[in-house]
Amino acid sequence: MGKETLQQREKRILSYWQTENVFEKSIENRKNRESFVFYEGPPTANGLPHVGHALGRTVKDVVARYKTMQGFLVERKAGWDTHGLPVELGVEKQLGISGKQEIEKYGIEPFIRKCKESVFTYEKIWRSFTEQLGYWVDMDHPYVTLDNSYIESVWHILSKVHKDRLLYKGHRVSPYCPSCQTSLSSHEVAQGYKDVKDLSATVKFRRVDSNEIFLGWTTTPWTLPANVALAMNPDLTYVKAQLDGEVFIVAKPLVFTVLGENATILSEHQGAEFAQAAYKPPFDYMTVEHGHVVVMADYVTETSGTGTVHIAPAHGEDDYQTVKEHGLSFVNVVDLRGCYTNEITDLAGRFVKDCDVDVIKLLAASHLLFHKEKYEHSYPHCWRCDSPLLYYATDSWFIQMSVLKEQLLANNNTVTWYPDHIKEGRFGKFLENVVDWNISRNRYWGTPLNVWVCTDCGHEEAPESIAALSLLAQQPLPDDLHKPYIDEVVCTCPQCHATMRRTPEVIDVWFDSGSMPFAQHHYPFEQEAFQKQFPADVVIEGIDQTRGFFYSLLAVSTLYKGQAPYKNVLSLGHVLDEHGQKMSKSKGNALDPIDLINSYGADALRWALLVDSSPWNPKRFSTKIVQEAKSKLLDTLENTFSFYQLYAGIDQFTFDAAQQGTPTLLDKWVLAQLHTTIAKVTTHMDDYQFTQGCREIAKLMDDVSNWYVRRSRQRFWASGFSEDKRAAFNTLHTVLSEVCKLLAPFTPFIAEHIYMQLHNESVHLQDYPTANAAYLNPELEEEMAVIVKIVELGRSIRNAKNLKVKQPLAELIIASTQSLSNYNRIIQEELNVKQIQWLPSTEAFVETHFKLNFKTAGAAFGKHVNAVKSYVETMATEDKNTLLCEGQLTVQLDEQSLTLEQAHLLTESTVKDGYELAEDGKLQVLLYTHLTDALIAEGHVRDFIRFVQDQRKQLNYPIEKYIDMQIACSPQQQMILQQFEALLRANILVQDMQFVASLNNAFCYTFAQEELQVSLSLN
């Protein structure tokens, strides 16, 4: 049977979790413990998961697993967002129809049935993706927004809002999607802005009573056929200016910007002087009974345009309010599809946003176009279908969020945001400018708005429950609370006993989502679960949900309970491609998370998403990053475990905590590193700093693999079973066990795989490690860090001089303020040197010359710089050493006390012949690189040892078995090998070593510039 593949392993572990109910046990084991409350934002089940979902689900799972292992009860209820336009649009596409007219022709009831069927189109893919990623969430008992129980809870919230007189119907200008044919809320609009190039026009509005011309500027030429008025600011100064025989009226600060330098100012006027001045509209398609006059408005500014604003009441909130305030006629020339009505004869039936050029051509033909230009600006698009939005006057239901602004801000102030700048920035500013929530949608598939209105007296009822509606209804309620069934429910007015009918709208899907803390538990109709699960300790979603899920949660909870629904919010950054571009299938740069899991494993994907950069930063992501995550951490961990497993099997070692063996300095060091790492990771994780936590674990594993295990190999290889070997096995077993626990929230599969083999139980049912002060040893860690740095400096010299580590050298000199000679053996073995000297300085071997660095010294010393230069050129050796050791030196020059720092100097060092210098701060090492014949010979033997070990591996000889070795070589080669036979036998398990005249079918190897032959066989 071949080696288990990564994919097979993860499938095996998934099967084990499912068979043994490990997820359920992890919750059951903590059922009497303090709750850590976690909310799962509901994805839409009729769309496929992408890499952004992988990031979100990874972070959610890491938090939930970590808190569970810390002993908290962390219930994780999945959810599905099943309502709204995304679902309707998907069904329209499936049916080959488009728009409300075609939906109604198809039939609302069959259309609703199709919507209901479609919402779980990709549920199996989502479930599979969630399981493959290792995200533990209860998908068998999810909350589903289309369920009657969920809708009933939403109705209860809306009923309270209605009773609090915060729900009202108004005719207002709202953002409107002509494609979806429904209005949007302000936080929905905030999600869909795009940078686009549009045409702007400066238009001539000729006065009726003179030849003077008002110049009006608009960025929406398509609204000009609906012009009703011009607005000017009564307090601004305007001028009449002549250009090319015509007199124009513009704001004074803008006159030359608009008219150019050739304009002549004739007179100045206050805006108030033009009130009620009549003008001729640019188009005469419509008869406006009250209008085409100048009105005053203080929102008009002199910062752009002309200082005069064109007013089209159906297409701007300011415009609408201005027309109402002045008693002017309301005009709308655009239908619900966003097309001109029949009155606009030249453009009837055409989409208005496509007609800017045509409108400008018509103006030019009438000599009413003064100027046109293209400009780039940010324009709102529908977040659901990507169509450009219009501002459109419609009847809608609103929630008065504006009156709750201070409470919203106060509630937000109780929340900790990650990253923290979102709190006062993106989110806080949105709350500062909060507007009333347009809650209604003129669509079909959604939670019906539970408002019944009397056809006679206009009284409104918003029943708070199914039971309350039953008491009002004139017939039994339908089993399904959706349209069109609920529309058939007729109620009796409690005021006048006339008929009440439901207002036909459904509600904004974001109100559905924002209600989830309550509706997921069918609150208030069922109390127990909700009381334990509110508010949330943490909510985790993407940055795009700042004005979506995060806002709707806060808004609904503030309306319903008067408090924030969460304590902490984690706002995750976008996952971009490797060039920083947004991923999309159309660009061909989108990564499929399921493909990544199938190729590299879930652990690699999860680790890559976390260790690379903080999750709230925009993340440049690529396949290469996932590959690196696998090789740097996962492969290192697996190789370390395989090493342990191999030698534990050979020695039949069984871990026994009571038998510790005789720990070495290296054992104590790695255990100190382990517990320091545990403390650091816990601190980072308690503050949701995942990346820092990951990096601490990665550093620990690197130290374990590349220092502890490598330094301890001989202990595992040694024959017999000494107390030293027992300590090595026990220490590595302990470290691997604790690392598995540390990693369990991050990389749950490999942690389970290794821990199960070490302990025969699930790591996910264990407690998270806690640092044990008895093992902490900062002094030992600091000392070992110095030793590692010395080895790195020595290796850097070897690399620079092209000297392999297998080539022994005579001497290493270390200049340090502390002598760590008890670590000499480690340094000697790592750098393969015969002798080590610890000295307070390298002055006997290195001559240091200083020159003044005028770039830094000039600014520091000013007029004293020449005196400092002279001092530096004649500096005493003692002063040089002080400066090198302490980094600075105080000197008296020109009767001034001056502080000379190393940054003020350029340093040149001359090293004694045969030595090479490397330094890091105050630490200096000198390696004597001169090679004697004896050193060269030993180098050949050490490389020969490497060659033999490689051949053993190729022959698949068990590493614990002794071999016999025959060598055919020259007398000179034989002499060298025999001279170092003890070294050979110490490093190769060789029983019999023979020198022979010749060999057949032997390995060839170049030894001391000559070829020899060697044959290996198992003893």
- Both tokens of 956, joined, read 């698949």
Q: Are strands 923-928 and 915-920 parallel, antiparallel or unpaired?
A: antiparallel
- Both tokens of 122, joined, read 């990709």
717 in Cβ contact with 949 (< 8 Å)? no
Calpha distance 336→442 (Å, rounded): 11
Indicate the residue type of 822.
N
CB atoms within 10 A of CB 704: 24
- Both tokens of 153, joined, read 């809870």
Calpha distance 154→524 (Å, rounded): 10
Residue 1001: Cβ-neighbour burial (10 angstroms; 0-12, 13-18, 19+): exposed
Residue 503: Cβ-neighbour burial (10 angstroms; 0-12, 13-18, 19+): middle
User: DSSP label at 800?
Assistant: H
3 state SS of 315: helix
564 in Cβ contact with 412 (< 8 Å)? yes
Residue 303: Cβ-neighbour burial (10 angstroms; 0-12, 13-18, 19+): exposed
447 torsion bin: left (phi>0), alpha (psi -120 to 50), beta (else) = beta
Bridge partners (DSSP) listed for residue 1011: 1006
- What is the chain's Cα-based Rg? 39
Calpha distance 188→180 (Å, rounded): 14
Calpha distance 366→957 (Å, rounded): 96
Calpha distance 288→277 (Å, rounded): 15
Q: Which of 128, 96, 132, 126 lies closest to 114, judged by CA?
A: 96
Calpha distance 819→806 (Å, rounded): 26
Calpha distance 498→656 (Å, rounded): 84
Calpha distance 985→987 (Å, rounded): 5
Contacts of 405 (CB under 8 A, 6+ apart): 431, 432, 434
Tally the residues of the chain. 1019
CB atoms within 10 A of CB 833: 19
* DSSP one-letter string for 177-226: ETTTTEE--HHHHTT-EEEEEEEEEEEEEEBSSSS-EEEEEES-GGGGGG
Q: Please report the beta strands in 863-1019, taking only residues with DSSP state E, as ranges in sequence order.
A: 888-893, 896-901, 905-911, 915-920, 923-928, 963-968, 990-996, 1003-1007, 1010-1018
- Both tokens of 495, joined, read 């005021």
Task: Give the CA angle between residues 423, 424, 427 to the nearest 5°.
Answer: 60
Calpha distance 216→202 (Å, rounded): 6
Q: Which helix (H) or strand (E) holds 783?
A: helix 778-800
What is the end-to-end Cα distance of the chain in Å, rounded? 28
725 in Cβ contact with 715 (< 8 Å)? yes
Does the annotation list 922 as a binding residue? no
Binding-site entries? 585
Binding-site entries for ATP? 585
